[in-house]
Amino acid sequence: MTTGRRGRVRSEEARRAILEATATLLAASGYEQLSVDRIATTAGVGKQTVYRWWSSKSAVIAECLLDGYVLSDLIVPAKTGDARSDVGNWLRALVDFLDDPKNAALFRALAAAASENREVSDRLYERFSGPLHTALVECLRAGIRAGQVRDDAPVPAVADILIGAVLHRALAHIAIPLGTVDGVVDALFSGVAAAARED
C-alpha cells in the first residue's frame, strides 16, 4: 500500500512544541509580546517550520484553541435539575475563573487575536462561546421540561445574554461583583416587568 506522498513526513513533535510554546507565551505575556521568533526559539524549532504550517501567529493561536492548548478546561453548567441554580452556579464559576488576573489576561489576549483575525474569532467561538451556548441552552430546556422555565422562553437569546454579560466585563478590565451575577440570574428568570396584570 502507498500513501501517494513522498518525502519526510510532518513532525508531530514540532507541531506540539509550537502549540505548547504559543499557549505558554500567550498566557505569560499577552498577544502583543508574542512573536514568531520567540515561539520558534521556545519550541526549539526553525522559524520556517512555523511559517510552513501556519500563515501567522494568529493562525497558530487559532489552532491552539482548536486543539485545547488554551481554554482546555471549559467551564460548563452542571445539570442538577434546578435550572436557576445551575445557571447561577455556572456563572459564579466563570466569574471566579476570570477573577484570576492570569485568566483574564489570557482571555483578553485571545480577544485581541480574535478582533484581528477571523479564524481565531471562529475558533474562539467554536471552542468557548459555542459549547457554552449549547450547554446553557440544554440547561434551560431541561428547566422547561422540569416546569421551572416557561416553555416559550427565547432560550438562545438568554444563553447569548449570559455569555455576553461575562465577556463584556472581562474585556473592559472590570472585576465582576458577585452581586451582579445574582442580578443577572434574577432578571433573566423573573423578568423585570412589573407584575401589573394583577392590578
Partner DNA sequence: TGTTAAACGAGACGGTACGTCTAGTCTTCGG
Partner DNA sequence: CCGAAGACTAGACGTACCGTCTCGTTTAACA
CB of residue 92 vs a second copy: minimum separation in angstroms?
14
Residue 111 makes contact with a second copy by CB under 8 A: yes
Tell which one of 28, 44, 150, 177 touches DNA (CB under 7 A).
44
> How far is Cα of residue 108 from the mean position of the Cα atoms in its chain?
11
Instruction: Yes or no: say if 185 and 88 are a contact pair by the CB < 8 Å rule.
Output: yes
Instruction: Yes or no: say if 165 and 184 are a contact pair by the CB < 8 Å rule.
Output: yes
CB of residue 97 vs a second copy: minimum separation in angstroms?
16
Residue 135 makes contact with a second copy by CB under 8 A: no
CB burial of residue 96 (10 Å; 0-12, 13-18, 19+): middle
The residues near 170 (Cβ < 8 Å, ≥ 6 apart) are 98, 104, 107, 108, 111, 176
Tell which one of 24, 42, 56, 85 touches DNA (CB under 7 A).
56
Tell which one of 24, 27, 30, 36 touches DNA (CB under 7 A).
36
Binding site for a second copy (CB under 8 A): 30-32, 84, 108-109, 111-112, 114-116, 118, 121-122, 124-125, 129, 140, 143-144, 147-151, 153-158, 160-161, 163-169, 171-174, 179-180, 182-184, 186-196
